[in-house]
Amino acid sequence: METKSKSLSFWLLTAFFVLFVLFLYSPMIAVFILSFQGPTGGMTFPLRGLSLHWFTDLFTSSRYGDLGGAFQRSILLSLLAMLVTVVVSFFAGLGFRRRFWGSGALFYLAIIALVMPGILTGLGIGTIFQTLGLRTNWLVSGLGAHLSWTLPFGLLIMFAVLNRFNGAWEEAARDAGARPVQVLGMVTLPIVFPGLIAVALFGLTLSYDEYPRSLLTVGTRNTLPIHVANLTANVTTPALYAIGTLTTFLSLIVIAGAFGTISLAARKRR
């Protein structure tokens, strides 16, 4: 019977793990709790009563600027970035399965955007637009800046997904007489579908909270992260926390939706 007291390493690792979890979740939990601060409360503990005051304040007061517009733009932008990321990563991943002339160079060119400081990428895009006499706009330069961030991630995820993909599946489909479009739609796509959901999730969230690349590329109309960052400069109420709670819930809903889609696809296979 092994009932001896646990070893030192066990306790050290446990302590490390607890610290990690605290570090990860305590800020989120603090923000969550403080967003329900009473009308007279401030941005720090203690709570002065519990209320939904700061949530209603967000929607009724005018001191938060165009918060709704920023939110709408961010949602639309992240959905677009997600869509492009999924489509491009999927086909690029399939293309990269075969070695072609310059494939190595192309891969590193795509990945280098991950290493570049985001603020520099944004600055570069802004400068080029100015040089060309174009106006930066969240749907054009903004989308481009976001894609420079989401595409490499999507591509890397696709590599991992396709690593476990057996090319013989496609050959078996061709052997049965399937044309290229049928192979893609009836074999390749359904098999890598869960991986594409992961790519979509990454594309969506990376774009939704993207700040440094957006700062100098979205033009005159801000996205949500920039708008919130600006608010922190002059708003000093728990309304900021209310924004945090709302967007966190939105993220949770999106993640639940993604998992739901994956398990639904899995059930269809049964």
- The values of phi and psi at residue 236, to 5°, are -130, 45
Per CB under 8 A, does 127 bind another protein?
no
Binder among 94, 124, 174, 184 for another protein (CB under 8 A): 174
Give me the least distance between CB of 27 and another protein, in Å please. Answer: 40
Is residue 230 within 8 Å of residue 169, measured between CB atoms? Answer: no
Give me the least distance between CB of 184 and another protein, in Å please. Answer: 13
Binding residues for another protein, total number by CB under 8 A = 18
Per CB under 8 A, does 66 bind another protein?
no
Per CB under 8 A, does 228 bind another protein?
no
Give the closest residue to 97 by CA, choosing from 164, 162, 191: 162
Binder among 187, 197, 215, 224 for another protein (CB under 8 A): 187
Which residues share a beta bridge with 50?
37
Binder among 18, 83, 87, 176 for another protein (CB under 8 A): 176
Tell me the HSE value of 113 on the side-chain side, using a 13 A CA sphere.
23
What span, in angstroms and rounded, lies between the C-alpha atoms of 10 and 150?
38
Give me the least distance between CB of 178 and another protein, in Å please. Answer: 5
Give me the least distance between CB of 97 and another protein, in Å please. Answer: 16
Per CB under 8 A, does 221 bind another protein?
no
Per CB under 8 A, does 173 bind another protein?
yes
Rounded CA Rg of the chain? 23
C-alpha distances (whole Å) from 233 to each of 64, 66, 71, 226, 240 are 12, 15, 18, 11, 11
Binding site for another protein (CB under 8 A): 166, 168-169, 171-178, 182, 186-187, 190-191, 269-270
